[in-house]
Amino acid sequence: MTATATVTSSPTPSATPTPTSIATATPTRTATPAPTVVIFLRGISWQWDFYGPGVNGGASIALQVGQPYEIRVYNDAPPDSSSHTFSGNADLGLSGAVLDPGSPAVVQRFTPQTAGLYPFLCTDSSCGSGHGNMTGLIQVVQ
């Protein structure tokens, strides 16, 4: 009798599964922009007057670096008065404007980037005898 050998095969172990990593989204924090602060600058009888949060008159105002502002410049003199001209300040991004009595306010938006003193004035010498006193100052602080 002849012996027959039976060959049995054993299953090959399968590769060990490696855990897959699942990417999770990390929320990115975005800065909420500061709300725009509205300020008014009134030209009248050889003077400038600021009005807005924390200020009620006077020819100077303190503003914050990085804070967006909207300035509304207007001539509050009687209709038969002379014009004033707001010189603006290029370093702040404020352009000049002719302000006729009774005309709508000139609206400009800007965000101060650098602390400092930023003067402005009336450049219309025909506005009257007090023209030389019609100066103002925007102080930008950190």
Per-residue pLDDT tens digits of the chain, which is 142 residues long: 555 555 555 555 556 666 665 666 667 777 778 899 999 999 988 899 999 999 999 999 999 999 999 999 999 988 888 899 999 999 999 999 999 998 899 999 999 999 999 999 999 888 888 888 899 999 999 9
The number of domains in the chain is: 1
27 lies in some domain? no
Cα 92 to Cα 72: distance, rounded to the nearest angstrom: 15
The candidate with the shortest Cα–Cα distance to 78, out of 106, 45, 121, 40, is: 45
13 lies in some domain? no
115 lies in some domain? yes
22-40 burial, b for 16+ CB within 10 Å, e for fewer? eeeeeeeeeeeeeeeeebb
Measured between alpha carbons, how far is residue 32 from residues 23, 29, 140 in Å?
27, 9, 22
18 lies in some domain? no
111 lies in some domain? yes
Q: Nearest 5°: phi and psi at 15?
A: -60, 145
Q: Look up the domain containing 74 and give its range.
A: 37-141
What's the pTM value of the predicted model, to 2 decimals? 0.75
